[in-house]
Amino acid sequence: MANKEKGFIKNGDRFRGEHRTYRGEILAALIIIVIVIAIAFRVNQIFYGFDNPQITPAGTSNAGKDEGAAKPPAGFRQSPDWKLMLVNHDHPLEKDFDGELTELRYGQSVDSRIYPDLQEMFDEMRENGLSPRVVQGYRSYSEQENRLRSKISEYMSYGKSKEEAERLALQWEAAPGTSEHELGICVDISSETGENASANEVWNWMDENCWKYGFIKRYPNNKSQITGVRGEPWHYRYVGAEAAEEIMKKGITLEEYLGAVPVK
């Protein structure tokens, strides 16, 4: 009988071998699942800023929680000059835009009073071989409100609580009534193609020359603690030629120019 069993696997050995195989397959599957989850979480970090350091809007989020929190300066008054109206978390709009809008190519609109200088600036860029494009201009209160709601919903779809989703969304979208886009005198600028290289060329030109046409780079990377907004290389604000020259040449913000810097 022993000779007849030679070369064959006994039933018990077969079971143990199959058991080890199944256990190995399950372990491999679990490892793959863990890797996929880790990759997905990392992608969310990169594209949605889940764990990016929070930039606290000046004088708002920490109010009442931290005695050293930034607060609006005492005695600040809005300029009567429409070009220098300050709009941020501390200084929301008191009324909706009621002026005249000029529609641009691709459907965006701006306050008609800034259109001549904007057009002249774009003409100059095109003469220098660039292809600028306004990707965002005027937005109404309701449009800004919808953008914020959409961003909150996006974060909640990734498992964030409503409170956490609101906190994160406000790092990317201003609350309605606090966005400069509601003034109609700022523009988000890119290139015709939208490619990084061509967009960077447009922004580099703007950084050097926008003040000549009354525009400033509104949210520099190194001024986030003053503006309360992450650096936005695409966002330019019209303030008029005189103010723009001083702001850009001194490397200051509109808040600093107007004396509205939050104080400790």
27 is in which domain, residue-wise?
Answer: 2-48
Handedness of CA 133, 247, 113, 109 (dihedral sign): positive
Instruction: Calculate helix-pair angle for 162-169, 141-156, nearest 10 degrees.
Output: 130
Pairwise CA distance, residues 38 & 40, whole Å: 5
For the stretch 13-21, contacts whose Cβ atoms lie closer than 8 Å and that sit 24 or more positions apart, written own/partner, are none
H helices present in 103-192, as ranges = 115-127, 141-156, 162-169
- Tell me phi and psi for residue 27, to 5 degrees: -60, -45
Predicted confidence at residue 118, as pLDDT, reads 98
For residues 118 and 9, membership in a common domain is answered with: no
Number of domains in the chain: 3
Average pLDDT per consecutive 10 residues, the chain (264 residues; last block may be shorter): 42 50 64 55 38 34 37 77 95 92 96 98 98 97 97 96 96 94 98 94 98 98 93 97 97 95 63
Residue with tokens 């809008």: 101
Predicted confidence at residue 94, as pLDDT, reads 87
Predicted confidence at residue 76, as pLDDT, reads 84
Residue 232 falls in the annotated catalytic set: yes
For residues 99 and 188, membership in a common domain is answered with: yes
For residues 183 and 200, membership in a common domain is answered with: yes
55 found inside a domain:
no
For residues 186 and 135, membership in a common domain is answered with: yes
Domain boundary among 156, 174, 192: 174
All residues at 6 or more sequence positions from 81 whose CB lies less than 8 Å from its CB, including other chains: 240
For residues 103 and 132, membership in a common domain is answered with: yes
56 found inside a domain:
no
Predicted confidence at residue 126, as pLDDT, reads 97
* Dihedral over alpha carbons 106, 241, 259, 177 (to 10 degrees): -20
Nearest to 264 by CA among 75, 76, 66, 70: 70
Which is catalytic among the residues 192, 232, 245, 246? Answer: 232
Q: Which residues pair with 186 in a beta bridge?
A: 237
Reading the block at residue 41, the tokens are: 């979480």
First-to-last alpha carbon distance for the chain, in angstroms, is 94
Q: Which residues pair with 134 in a beta bridge?
A: 189
165: three-class secondary structure by DSSP: helix
pTM to 2 decimal places: 0.72
For residues 186 and 169, membership in a common domain is answered with: no
Sheet holding 215-219, edge to edge: 132-136, 186-191, 232-238, 215-219
Predicted confidence at residue 35, as pLDDT, reads 60
Nearest to 245 by CA among 205, 198, 210: 210
Predicted confidence at residue 32, as pLDDT, reads 66
Predicted confidence at residue 56, as pLDDT, reads 35
Predicted confidence at residue 10, as pLDDT, reads 47
For the stretch 25-31, contacts whose Cβ atoms lie closer than 8 Å and that sit 24 or more positions apart, written own/partner, are none
CATH of the domain at 206: 3.30.1380.10
